[in-house]
Amino acid sequence: MEKTIFQKIIDRELEADIVFENKNIIAFKDINAIAPVHILIVPKKYIDSINSLQSEDKEIIGEMFIVAKDLAKELKIDESGYRTVFNTNDDAGQTVYHIHLHLIGGRKLDWPPG
Ligand code: AMP
């Protein structure tokens, strides 16, 4: 199977602006940021979409949110506010089929999304 872009970033075959990494997770700046803060939080375990989640993935999903809130604090958007989003499949605009949590903030965000 062809590696996803995010797998190539995890394997250091592709450069990214990495802001956090531990044994389970990598987080880097979105190349097409839609806000002053736009970070992708990616598990090193390959899971193609939220539709493929298994109960054994509970911990990794929880850890992704802990990383998100820690980064939000570090980047000083915890008080002003931010959005955490998983896009799933076509209607939601998923383009990379390796799950990732978007952390978006640093400006007023519209709701509902388009
Ligand atoms: P999604 O549409 O939810 O699948 O999000 C995929 C995100 O990955 C988009 O916001 C892209 O801008 C971002 N992206 C694609 N390629 C790269 C890359 N090489 N480095 C960083 N972000 C990327």
Token pair recorded at residue 16: 């990214």
User: What is the average per-residue pLDDT within 98-108?
Assistant: 98
Q: Residue 75: CB within 6 Å of ligand 1?
A: no
Q: What is the pLDDT of residue 114?
A: 81
Q: What is the pLDDT of residues 14-70, one digit of tens each?
A: 999 999 999 999 999 999 999 999 999 999 999 999 999 999 999 999 999 999 999
- Within a 13 Å sphere around the CA of 83, how many CA atoms are in the beta-carbon half? 16
Token pair recorded at residue 3: 């590696």
Mutate to test the pocket of ligand 1, among 31, 38, 91 (most ligand atoms within 8 A of CB): 31
CA–CA distances in Å: residue 66 to residues 11, 59, 88: 23, 10, 21
Measured in Å, residue 31 CA sits from the centre of ligand 1 at 6
Q: What is the pLDDT of residue 108?
A: 97
**What atom in ligand 1 is closest to the CA of residue 38?**
10
**Is the pLDDT higher at 1 or at 29?**
29
pTM beyond 0.85 = yes
Considering all CA atoms of the chain, what is the largest pairwise distance in Å, rounded to the nearest integer? Answer: 42
Q: What is the pLDDT of residue 1?
A: 79
In 10 A of CB 35, how many CB atoms? 18
